[in-house]
């Protein structure tokens, strides 16, 4: 997959939710993770992290939106359940993106929303857990930007080979 992404949350209040989101970010191959104004002890989550996520990707703690320092050219994508947000299945993910989710019982702050290049929402009836919302967003990025075979018309797995990837380093398997 081309490009990179990071994911983070503003004003997180529950250690379990942060742990879930960090482990999911690690599993989906995030390049970095961040928190803005956390209301919990982030180090307590580090101790209970069974996936080693904190040892495998940069983790940024910013005490304010002004402190936030994303890589040059990285577009901030707010994941917020708002009427005018783009529905996730219709969204084309930026090659270089940082996704940010809001606090569990509130919305992303207006000052952070002002920095967002895009605002997306998961098409659901109501808001869901921040860890689940982050995982769904990362999964959508993976399936929309990854190199996967087309879904078949009939139920079941693909019948066509994977698309060719230009300039990719593939290990050749010898057959006898």
Say how many domains are in the chain. Answer: 1
Q: What is the mean pLDDT of the chain?
A: 88
Tens of pLDDT, residues 56-103: 899 999 999 999 999 999 999 999 999 999 999 999 999 999 999 998
Q: Record the pTM.
A: 0.86
* Domain annotation covers residue 29: yes
Does 156 map to a domain? no
C-beta of residue 134 within 8 angstroms of C-beta of residue 21 = yes
Q: Which residue carries 């895009």 as its tokens?
A: 118
In a domain, 65, yes or no: yes
Residue ranges making up the domain that contains 133: 4-145
**At 167, is the pLDDT very low, low, confident or very high (cuts 50, 70, 90)?**
very low
- Average pLDDT of the residues in 12-29: 92
Q: Is residue 110 part of a domain?
A: yes
> What does the buried/exposed string (b/e) look like for 61-88 if buried means 16 or more CB atoms within 10 Å of the residue's CB?
ebeebeebebeeebbbbbbbbeeebeeb
* CATH number of residue 15's parent domain: 3.40.1280.10
Within a domain: 76: yes
What is the predicted pLDDT for the residue at 92? 97
161 domain residue, yes or no: no
- Residue 151 placed within a domain: no
The answer, yes or no, to whether residue 161 has pLDDT greater than 90, is no
Mean pLDDT of 150-172: 66
Q: Tokens at residue 96, please?
A: 């270089």
Q: Is the pLDDT of residue 171 over 60?
A: no
Tell me what pLDDT residue 166 has.
54
Q: Does 44 fall in a domain?
A: yes
């Amino acid at each position: 997959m081309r490009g990179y992404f990071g994911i983070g949350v503003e004003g997180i209040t529950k250690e379990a939710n942060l742990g879930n989101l960090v482990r999911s970010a690690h599993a989906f191959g995030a390049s970095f993770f961040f928190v803005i104004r956390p209301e919990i002890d982030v180090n307590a989550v580090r101790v209970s992290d069974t996936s080693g996520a904190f040892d495998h990707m940069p983790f940024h703690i910013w005490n304010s939106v002004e402190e936030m320092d994303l890589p040059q050219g990285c577009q901030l994508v707010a994941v917020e359940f708002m009427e005018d947000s783009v529905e996730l299945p219709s969204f084309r993910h930026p090659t270089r993106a940082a996704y940010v989710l809001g606090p569990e019982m509130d919305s992303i702050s207006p000052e952070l929303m002002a920095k967002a290049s895009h605002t997306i929402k998961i098409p659901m009836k109501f808001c869901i857990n921040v860890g689940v919302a982050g995982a769904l967003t990362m999964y959508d990025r993976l399936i929309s930007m990854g190199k996967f075979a087309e879904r078949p018309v009939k139920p079941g797995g693909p019948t066509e080979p994977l698309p060719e990837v230009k300039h990719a380093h593939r290990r050749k398997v010898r057959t006898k």
